[in-house]
Amino acid sequence: MPVLASHRKPRSTRQHSPAVGVTTAALASVTLLSAQSAGAAPAAPAKPTVEEIQKKVDDLYRQAGTATQEYNRVKEATDQQRRKVDRILDDVARRTDAINESRRTLGSYAAAQYRAGAVGPTAALIFADSPQSYFDQTHLMSRLSERQRGAVEDYETKRAAAAKQRAEATRSLESLTASQTALRTSKQTVQRKLAEARTLLARLTAEEKARLAELERRREAEARRKAEERAEAEAAEAAAEAERRRQEEARRQQRPGAPATTPPRTGGGSTSPYAAEAAKALAFARGQIGKPYVWGATGPSSYDCSGLTQAAWKEAGVDLPRTTWDQVEAGTRVATDDLLPGDLVFFYDDISHVGLYIGGGKMIHAPKPGANVREESIYSMPIHGSVRPA
């Protein structure tokens, strides 16, 4: 049977070259764009806003305040260590003089022994004026030997004590050197933070400086508003207390023979012992208004924050520690709502600033470098806590 021919059309092989061309062109375009992107200069970082600059400057001043307290702490420790070293060195000098005196005594005994030892006992007896004089001289030399032993023991005791003091002096000098190194480091940290803040402010344009000043005015206005509210609340509380006392006195007068009421002698009453001491501290602080803030200063021509509060309360007979970190522990903690004139108000989480409360939501404080001692709202900074120092 003959084979039938196939009528199917042969499979056609379609050409895909146009699609390949498109893909190649697309890849070429992507490569070109990538090359152009790689060659382009990186975008300049965005310039910080005035608000960001203000926050940065505030943070630098706060860090400088913290570094100032560290400087104060190390300086106080350095001064104490220096005084200790001076006392030890004075003691070493006195002990050295005592050793030299003991050495001279031993020398005289040694010379006497040498002279006595030049003649033997038999010869000494023979050449003595009489047997009695020999025995007298022998007795004297015996007593001299006892004194010699005592002198040697005294010399050894003094020499050991002097060696111990010299070793302590060496350790104290090493500690003093370490404290001085830490003091220099703290000083450099303060200076660096302040320099960074000054650099940021110096780069501001006139328009930015005006904007920054406006932000400061708004912040101060808000702090004043809060202080005024606090002052009104304190005035209302004082008026209520006065009315309570008036009514109590009126009731007393209606009862013949009743004892007269007396104001309380504790707390913040105007006649309380604390109020009298606080008045002295506040009077001193007011006398310092207008003097410049200088970090590490304790007066009389300039102050840092804790230097001012320390000097003010010293005027009232109360010795406060040097740093804010120690002052916050030097008294009774009080709530912000219970503040009385004379109380210490501390700021920031790291307790790097302090002011002296004067009432009405205000304080006297030494603010920061470039500013003078002044009255200001306690709400101008975040409050950490408060202490009544007496």
Which sequence positions are flagged as catalytic? 305, 353, 365
Cβ-proximal residues to 351 (8 Å cutoff; 6+ apart), any chain: 69, 324, 325, 328, 384, 385
Residue of 118, 101, 106 whose CA lies nearest to 144: 106
Say how many CA atoms lie within 13 Å of 168 toward its Cβ.
16
On whether the CB atoms of residues 215 and 50 are closer than 8 A, the answer is yes
On whether the CB atoms of residues 182 and 188 are closer than 8 A, the answer is no
Q: How far is CA 127 from the centre of its chain?
A: 81
